[in-house]
Amino acid sequence: MNPSAAPRLRAALRLLSIGCAFALAACSSQPPVPDWQMNAQGASQKAIEAYLSGNARVEKLEWDRARAEVARTGRPDLLARLELMRCAAQVASLVAEPCERFEALRADAAAPEQAYADYLAGRVQASQVALLPPAQRAAATSGDATSLAGITDPLSRLVAAGVLLQMGHASPAVIATATDTASAQGWRRPLMAWLLLQVQRAEAAGDTAAASALRRRVAVVEQSGALPR
């Protein structure tokens, strides 16, 4: 991963975790941060970095480590929050799967986490929008590409674009913004997903020149290593 992207990814993790309890204390006058909290925060950050870059082995190792640290608290609400971080990264990469690990914990999750899970699934209700992270509220209400322009964090922007796709609002502008965002960060997994979606749409429209150009981009990404299915 590009080292310059690390600060932006850390900011993304804070947004995706919805005020995550794993964030480190910023003031030295506060009580010491428990070991589990520091360990979970570090492991979840590494897991998402690995997922976006397509490193499945490291991703699994770090998610398992993060879950084990959170489990030390005996709090399913915190574990549910952790699972949402993972599912958000999947939505950003166009993985259309139910967030099963969260759903198993939904009964103990707080209202903001439940709202965010519904948002990731493309079924958020108007009454839940105010509970979403600020970066996602505009996408949840406007449903168009203009809402992405105001999201400065790259990962949050990709999450919003993935949600718009699930809601049937992924215009060419939305897809192009998502592709450019993933490309700028060097995030192989979401980049490949969004490029292949563009290829599919270009072929469906009979635009063979655009499809060929996009396939050349796909070939370049493939040179960086095979992504696990």
**Tens-digit pLDDT profile for residues 63-122:** 999 999 999 999 999 999 999 999 999 999 999 889 999 999 999 999 999 999 999 999
Specify the pLDDT at position 138: 84
Distance CA 139, CA 155 (A): 14
Specify the pLDDT at position 196: 97
Query: What pLDDT digit, counting tens, does each position of 8-25 carry?
Result: 555 445 445 444 444 433
| 30: Cβ contacts below 8 Å, ≥ 6 apart | none
Distance CA 227, CA 73 (A): 34
Under the banding of pLDDT at 50, 70 and 90, the label for residue 27 is very low
Distance CA 4, CA 43 (A): 19
Report the interhelical angle of 6-16 vs 154-166 (nearest 10°): 50
Specify the pLDDT at position 181: 96
The answer, as to whether pTM is greater than 0.95, is no
Specify the pLDDT at position 15: 44
Q: Where are the alpha helices (DSSP H) in 121-207?
A: 134-142, 146-149, 154-166, 172-185, 188-204
Report the interhelical angle of 172-185 vs 154-166 (nearest 10°): 150
Q: How many helices (H) and strands (E) does the chain have?
A: 12, 0
Tokens describing residue 145: 């590409």
Query: What pLDDT digit, counting tens, does each position of 126-179 carry?
Result: 999 999 988 899 888 877 778 898 899 999 999 999 999 998 888 999 999 999
Unique residue bearing structure tokens 């009964």: 107
Specify the pLDDT at position 76: 96
Specify the pLDDT at position 144: 74
| 174: Cβ contacts below 8 Å, ≥ 6 apart | 144, 145, 148, 161, 164, 165
Q: Which amino acid is at 22?
A: F
Phi and psi, residue 170, nearest 5°: -85, 90
Query: What pLDDT digit, counting tens, does each position of 173-221 carry?
Result: 999 999 999 999 999 999 999 999 999 999 999 999 999 999 999 999 9
